[in-house]
Structures are given as structure tokens and as C-alpha cells.
Amino acid sequence: MYSDADVLAVMRAARELRGLRSHTYTTLIGLLACTGMRVGEAIALDSDDVDLADDVLTIRRGKFGKSREVALHLTTRDALKTYARARDRFFRGRSKADSFFVSHAGTRLIYNNVQLTFSRLLADAAVGDLSRRPRLHDLRHTFAVRTLTDWYRAKADIEKRLPVLSTYLGHVSPASTYWYLSTTPELMGLAAQRLERALGTLP
């Protein structure tokens, strides 16, 4: 689980990268943290998949071939707009790829290179330790767990909302999303409290 301070520290480290890479990695990491997208889905986005007028992303090549739409918060939309302007200025509209996120060379980002850069940013930001650095994919886990935790704290109807989260994350079914209920002690505790209250009302 990443804390807010962890994410901000990694994004600050990304801003120290040279040239367009600074904009690319700062925005990519922020997008993954606030949407729970898979990194492969984010780097597969084409410019046409990013609708900044209606604040939605279209995932066309998700896991298991599933496609979906991901709604964006206004602050996320604004960050993507800022990145798009910086990217277009850098290449003067002559990028070599249709992809939304591009490398310094103007090509689509490569998964292994993104992973390697992220590992270096974690070290620069002093997030985690040498024996067990967090993974890029853990941003997705953090998003899911925090969403569920917020719902429990708000006493929301989890059974009704879980399919929405499952669809948003691109899971095959809500059963896959239930896995997150067992990932943190706090979330387990909140779920247990909910169960105790429900059992207490039984005759």
C-alpha cells in the first residue's frame, strides 16, 4: 500500500527527469494512482482513446480482451491536458506514434522500460527499502483498497457498489474484486465490524 506521501515523493522524483520524460512519468504515475488502471492499459492508450472533452478514457485492449470506459476526475483531466500540451510542444505535433504517452524519442512507451524507470524513481524518492521495493502494480491495489475502505467508513452498501468498482477496474467479475477485502488489516476490521452489526440484528 502506498501512502499519499509515497505517491507524491515518487512524482517529485519524476519531475527531476530530463526533458519530456519528466512530464510523461509524472503524469503516468499520477494517472495510475488515481484511477487504478493497469500500467499496460495506460501505455496502450492512443490519443483518440483520451476524451478530455467528456472526461473519459476508453480502454480498448484490457486484460482478457475486455474493453471499458474510465471516468476522470476534473483534476485528472486537467493534468492530462497539461501533459498533452507539453508533449505536442516538444514534438511540434510530429510525434512518431499514435499513443497518448510517448517516450523522449516520440515512440510508445515500453513496459519493461517503464518498470525500470519506476524502480529508479522509488530509490530516488526513498520509498520502500532495498529488500522489498513496492511494485508499480501496487498503485492499482492501493486504489482499490482505499476505495473499499472509504465506502466502509461511509457505511455505503458494499454489495451494491462492488460491481461498479469491478467494472471500473476491468475485473472479469466482482469475485475478483472481493480479493481486496483481505489485503489490509484495516479493511478486514471494517468488514468484520459491518458483519458484527448485521449479526447483532438477527433474532
User: Which amino acids are annotated catalytic?
Assistant: 38, 63, 137, 140, 171, 180
How many angstroms separate the first and last alpha carbons of the chain? 39
Determine contact, residues 14/125, Cβ cutoff 8 Å: no
Burial class (CB in 10 A: 0-12, 13-18, 19+), 200: exposed
Amino acid at residue number 17: L
Q: Is 46 helix (H, G, I), strand (E, B) or coil?
A: strand
Amino acid at residue number 149: T
Amino acid at residue number 74: L
Sorted by sequence, the CB contacts under 8 Å of residue 68 that are 6+ apart come out as 58, 59, 62, 167, 168, 170
Query: How is residue 188 written as a grid cell?
Result: 478486514
d(CA 60, CA 51): 13
d(CA 63, CA 65): 5
